[in-house]
Structure 1
């Protein structure tokens, strides 16, 4: 979780903040990542182990049979990334171009992945949605309260 402004260096290295890396259990997920082009054309970083489990579940579903050619695109767009000792990963040129990413980025931590946004797009998104943020929180609270508490 969290929001982190980062800058790619001249070698296209992205420093994954320690605050994000600490949220990943290396015993479960390893120390690497998979980079994919997300549904919104932002880059998404998944912990290695989680991504492998996700793909294993996907392969067992009927989706690959129904969408064979589209599945090829999904697998072709995924790249395995290994961080160096400083926690940096090199982002491939093609991935950066497809996501319209320059050197100024914002990393947004989600429950199961990290989104990589061009900073200008993230700031525009915040500017657009911040005025209704309170309403969104209230709607989420209403939805949660109507479901009742989680069983213990």
Structure 2
């Protein structure tokens, strides 16, 4: 049987504790899935969180690039801004203060499933974002499926 790919669906509201930890929903911590995650800042003032399996694909693409390729250099710079995390026995991940500040997250947060990754938003910013919820039919049709 092949590798299980993590899939992140649904929306969850959680709070960061005083140590900068937040609980990853149990649905996203299924046995056999990656427990190592990578947290990246987004230009839209939230955080993007990808599983290790996604990072493995990135590594394969990087290996194919020349050392001075601008795309490779851009990814190397991104590595400086990201953080690798693993959840603890209670399912919490600890996110560095600099990343939480980038996303302007104080305490209350929203974890948003995006299929191959999830996002962490400040609760107020998420509500203000006005993200339009679509239907399954609209999404599939817009993809030409």
* Residue-by-residue CA offset, 1:21-72 (whole Å, 9 max, x unaligned): 23x742xx3x21111113433211111232232233244257x712455333
Q: 2:75 aligns with which of 67, 71, 76?
A: 71
Q: State the SS of the aligned residue for 2:50.
A: strand
Give unpaired runs (5+ residues) of structure 1: none
Q: State TM-score, norm by structure 1.
A: 0.75
* Residue-by-residue CA offset, 1:80-134 (whole Å, 9 max, x unaligned): 1011101101110111112222111000011111100111111112xx344xx56
Q: State the SS of the aligned residue for 1:111.
A: coil
CA gap 1:98/1:129 in 2 versus in 1, 3 angstroms: closer
Tell me if the contact between 2:62 and 2:72 (Cα under 8 Å) persists in the aligned partners: no
Moved over 6 A (4+): none
Q: State the SS of the aligned residue for 1:86.
A: coil
For 1:143, the equivalent position in structure 2 comes to: 142
Matches within 5 A, 1:54-93: 54-61=58-65, 65-67=69-71, 69-93=73-97
Structure with the higher fraction of residues in helix conformation: 1
When Rg is computed on C-alpha atoms for both structures, the one with the higher figure is: 1
Give unpaired runs (5+ residues) of structure 2: 1-8
CA RMSD of aligned residues (A): 2.6
Q: State TM-score, norm by structure 2.
A: 0.78
